[in-house]
Structures are given as C-alpha cells and as structure tokens.
Structure 1
Amino acid sequence: MALQDIVEQVVSGLGYELVEIERSAGGLLRITIDLPWEPGSEQLVTVEDCEKVTRQLQFTLEVEEVDYSRLEVSSPGIDRPLRNERDFERFEGEVIDVTLKSPMGAAAGGQVAANRKKFRGQLARAEAGDWQITWSDEPPAKPGQKVSKKKEVPLQVLGFRLDELKDARLAPIVNFKGRRPKSVSGES
C-alpha cells in the first residue's frame, strides 16, 4: 500500500482531512491535517488532535513497515495550502497568494509585467465558474497618513483555472490590533 493511501486512510478514519504529506532529508515525515469543512462553522485543529493522529500513525506506519525516523503532525497554519475546489470554496473572500505555472505574457495586455507569476489578492468566484483574485498595486497608506476618499484605487483582476496554478496559499496576514483587514478596494 502506498504511503499516501496509508496516511489518508488513518487520518480520515479519525475524522480529519489530510492536507499534505511531506518527506524530507533525514527521514522526517511531516503530515498536515485539518478538520473537515462545513459551511458556517470554522473549527481549528488543536494540539490534542495532532497528538491523537500521531499516536495512530506511529502504530500504523510500524505495522506497514514504512521507513521514517521522525513523525511530525501539524495543523495547516496561517499560510494553509489550497489544493482543490473545496479549499477554494472554503476560503472564498480571503486574501490568497497564487503562483502560476507559466507567466502571464502578452495576455495581461501590459497591465502587469509579462514575466510575472506571483500575485496576492482577494479570492472570488468568476462568472465562468473559474476563480479570480482582485488586487491593487498601489502601495498602502502609511500609518497616520490621510487618504482622500475621492482617490480611485485602480484594481486589477486575474482569472484562473486550478490547473493553471503551481501553488496557492492563504496569505499569512497577521493583524496585532485585532481588526479584520479592510477589503482590497479600500472600502471598510
């Protein structure tokens, strides 16, 4: 049985969702888990959840004779990877970082650099059923700086399909003041 199948069977059997498996040099096996998503409820993975999965995986990996020296089970963190359609549905409206497989090229019509692959913006469903992010390349106002309400912030939109992405993650935005970040367009 393949490692992916073994880990997925154990994780889902315990009521969790497998986000990622990573093997690195030195025999480290890193497993990232999350709680299954249900619209309207946002629960977080706890240390106890990781401990429970670790214990069961240690037993199962020993029985299956999987070679590893250290096992690490963790939550996805603030820069959670987005892998499938369900992840994108779950985090619609959030700010994400995307990396395209190939640069925009001439398709951007001079709006962005032709060799640009990385973008950060607010995730939304596009009309055609695909996805899009909206962002502004305007630098944010400095703290204490007055911003004119009349000033139009130029927004840009990038539409994409999931198969065009090399990587997509939640943007690791930390706000120590406890307020939600303002929307991309500068509205509150």
Structure 2
Amino acid sequence: MSVSVSDVDSGKKYVIQDTGEDEKLSRRHRIVKGKPLYDFFYEVLCKPSEEFYQCTCKRFESYGLLCGHIFYVIRLSKVKTFPRKYVLRRWSQDSLPPASVIQASGDTPDMILREIFRSVEYCVNHYTNEPELLQKFRDHQVQLMAKADADVPIPKKTNKRDRIASILG
C-alpha cells in the first residue's frame, strides 16, 4: 500500500509499505502490540513521461525483473502501455540465437552467450551507482547494436502459420 507520495524533479516518489513481507515476518517473528516487529518500506521513483521507474529494493537492477512495488506504482499512475524497456530480450520469443551461430574456438554458442550475458549484467550492476559511467556503457552498447544491425541485417519476419507451412511443406 502507498504510504506517501511526494513530487521530485519531473516525477513522483512513492513510499510503499510491503504488507506481504509484513505478513510473512509476523508468522516467523514475535508480534509487538498486534504489529509485526519489522515494517518494510520501499521508495519508488516514478517518471511516467520518461518511462522511468526505480525502486529501492533494486530487484530490476539485480535480476532484470520488475518488483511488485513498481507494478503497484504503474497501476496507481494509470499507465496505459507498459514501458518497453522493462521487457528484456531474454523474456521475448527471439531470445534464442538462430541455429546457424558458428562455433568459435571450441566454445559452444550457449557458452558464448552465457559469458556475454554475464559480462553485460556484471557491468550494469557495477555501474549502477555511477550515472556517468552507466551512460557511457549504454552509449557503447547502442553503438554495438548499430554495428550488429549493419553486420547482420534483420530478416523479414514471417508469421507463425508461414513458418509451420515451410517446415511441413
């Protein structure tokens, strides 16, 4: 539940009490005067115009998954379309590489991909508290994406029916 809302910069800061965490703890820890011994509060910074959401629990930064606190704020803010940048490629249909990925130096494509994802995730987590470095890293990644598009043009998408027809003849 939302405890308070305040205006900051070009957005709002919500203080959220996670009642689900309180209920879990009250079962495990002693209760003082009818209230759990610990209360869980999180701050969510929300800038809907920039499609920016950040929670102090850092679940998205750590795991690539939005927390319930951010979902709650998105719902409170009456956002009509879900911010695309929070849907990571690994959750989409095209997350797997094409079968034609060439093996390099004995490493399997799966091993190469895991190493790439691990190194990118490491860098993002490492730069989280350094906005300038994080921005430079993002700019470098955007350049790499442009180079990838130039190196390997994206094939024309076919619908599911056409793909099945091509497989079955």
| Superposed pair shares fold, TM > 0.5 | no
Bigger RCO of structures 1 and 2 (CA < 8 A, at least 6 apart): 1
Normalising by structure 1, we get a TM-score of: 0.31
The structure with the greater share of residues assigned to strand is 1
* Structure number with bigger Rg: 2
Normalising by structure 2, we get a TM-score of: 0.33
The structure with the greater share of residues assigned to helix is 2
